[in-house]
Copies of this chain bind each other. A is one copy, B any other.
């Protein structure tokens, strides 16, 4: 389960009740419920970077759904290894890029829904019961008709122009580490063996550290983090606060040409 429902309410717990009432043997795992409210992009980034760590056959139930009660579709996707259930607002799209898709269904079969379906909580009334049924092995075609495509959501890609690789902060973790959209591979391909400078929030870094511990307490450092991307961190502190950075903050890598040898 991935949602922006937070932990102050009974929403997630109630969804679990709904699932277990249908499939008492379901093993329900929380991926995260503290997606920033209604931030479909952040949720999509999290899901894309998480779903493959789960066992084959996992039903990924993702509900970040600012359009609940509007005309946005509820969808169900079957890939070779997984199922995905959620609103058709782009949330699932980045995760499906490299997967073998075996079917996409527009969920319309109301007999699976909790009645009356509320206008504000399809997580409980639509997505949870459908996910539970899917986990019981129900054929995805039972839930509605097949559709050809889903709403796209392109996660920001870094830009390369001559000597500059310009990325952005696309995720900030709970420690205040700034995760960029610059992958280790694209960084290395860009920087090659030349020197480089990483500029972010008025600060400049000239190397990528091998671990957090390499920098003295309070110092900024760059590191290839667990998402496989370049991260800006502060040793035993928060780079987010130190740099007053946010989602979208630019991180620029410049190649340094040595004029003399």
A residues with a Cβ closer than 8 A to B are: 2, 5-14, 16-18, 20-21, 24, 27-34, 37-38, 46, 49-50, 53-55, 58, 66-70, 118-121, 124-125, 173-175, 210-214, 223-226, 228, 231, 236
Contacts and interface: CB of A to CB of B under 8 A. Distances in A.
A236 B7 contact: no
Which of A9, A68, A223 is the most central at the interface, judged by chain B CB atoms within 10 Å of its CB?
A9
Given A27-B20, A55-B24, A211 B10 contact: no
A236 B66 contact: yes
Contact of A31 (B13, B24, B53, B68): B13
Nearest to A208: B119
Contacts of A14: 31, 50, 53
B49 A119 contact: no
How many copies the complex holds: the figure is 3
Contact of A119 (B6, B17, B21, B223): B223
A20 B55 CA distance: 6
A210 B69 contact: yes
A32 B12 CA distance: 8
Nearest to A28: B29
Given A120-B212, A212-B66, A9 B236 contact: no
Contact of A5 (B13, B174, B210, B228): B174
Nearest to A65: B212
Contacts of A225: 118-121
A210 B118 CA distance: 10
A224 B120 CA distance: 8
Between A34, A124, A228, the greatest number of chain B beta carbons within 10 A of the residue's beta carbon is seen for A34
Given A7-B7, A174-B6, A120 B211 contact: yes
Nearest to A236: B38
A49 B17 CA distance: 12
A119 B212 CA distance: 8
Contacts of A11: 173-174, 226
Given A55-B17, A118-B225, A236-B38, A10 B50 contact: yes
A209 B81 CA distance: 40
